[in-house]
Amino acid sequence: MASQLDLLKQFTTVVADTGDFKQLSQFTPQDATTNPSLILKAVQKPDYAPLLADTVAAHRGEALDAIVDQVLVRFGLEILKVVPGRVSTEVDARLSFDTQGTLARARRIIGWYEAAGIHRDRVLIKIASTWEGIQAARELEREGIHCNLTLLFSFCQAQACGDAGVQLISPFVGRIYDWYKKTAGSAWDEAANACLNDPGVKSVTRIHAYYKQQGIRTEVMGASFRNVGQILALAGCDLLTISPELLAQLQAADASSQPVRRQLGGASDIGSAAPVPPLTEAAFRYALNDDAMGTEKLAEGIRSFAVDSAKLDALIEAQR
C-alpha cells in the first residue's frame, strides 16, 4: 500500500535532513543535508563515537578548523555510500560575513571529497545566505563547485541567489512559521495559518514561482519543517529536505486515506514573467533590513550554528 512518502516522491525529490547516516536507508532519499547542529547531535551518539575518534586521531597535529572539516567530510563520505545523489556539507557559520574565508574553506572541503574519489557534482557546499556568502557562492559556481545557500528567510535573499546562479537554495519554512506565530502571540489562529496559508509555505511558494517564471535554474529545496502539513503543502517543489522523524510519519501514513496532491510546479509558471534586474548590494541590504522576520531569523540562525560549531570544536579539542 502506497504511503504519503511514496506519493510525495512522485512530485518532489526527497532529501533527508540528518547527520545520522545509519537512519537513511529506510527512507531511500535521493540526497541528504547536514549542518553543524545535526553533526554535533550525531557525534554525541555512541554509534558515531568511533568515527569521530578515528578521524581526530588520523589528523592529530593539524589545525583545529582542518580537523573539524575532516569530520564533516567523513560524515559526508558515509552518507554518500547510502544516498545515490548529493550531500550538503556546511562551511563554518562563523565565516558568514567573510567571502574569502568561505571560499578557502569551500575549496578545501571539495578538495578532500575529490581526494576520496567523490566527484564534485555529488557535493553541495552549504553557505549562509548573507551578501558575503552569496558572493562566495557566485565565484564557487564559476569554478564548478556547486552550492546550497541556507538560512534563507527573505525574498531578497532568494532573488540575489538566483542572480548569482547558485545551484540550490534552502528556504526555512518552519523558522518563518515560528517567527510569525511568536509575533502574533495570543492573536495567532493556527487553523487559519495552516497548510497553504502557512507563512513559511507561502514564502517558498512565492520563491518557487518567481524562479520558474524568470527561467532561473536554481533549485528550490524547502527546509526546516515543523509538521507534515507544511511538507504536503509544498508537494511539487524541486526538493524538500525532511527530518527522519517527519519522514517516518510520512512513511507510516496511508496515502489512500490521506492523498498527496501536487501544489507547486504548474506548467503555466514557466518563463511567463518580464525579466527582473539584478539586485545591487545596497538594494539587497535595504530589502533585508526592511524585512524584520528575515533579518532576525538570519542573525539568530547564524548565532545558533556558530554556538554548535564551537561545541563541536570543544569535543574535537578534547580528543586531540
- Catalytic positions, please? 126
**In 3D, which of 24, 78, 69, 89 has the Cα closest to residue 50?**
78
Point out which residues pair with 222 in neighbouring strands.
240
- With b for 16 or more beta-carbon neighbours within 10 A and e for fewer, the 69-95 pattern comes to bbbbbbbbbbbbebbeebbbbbbbbbb
Q: What is the dihedral of CA 147, 151, 157, 160, to 10 degrees?
A: -10
Instruction: Please give the DSSP secondary-structure letter assigned to residue 227.
Output: S
- With b for 16 or more beta-carbon neighbours within 10 A and e for fewer, the 201-239 pattern comes to bbbbbebbbbbbbbebebbbbbbbbbbbebbbbbbbbbb
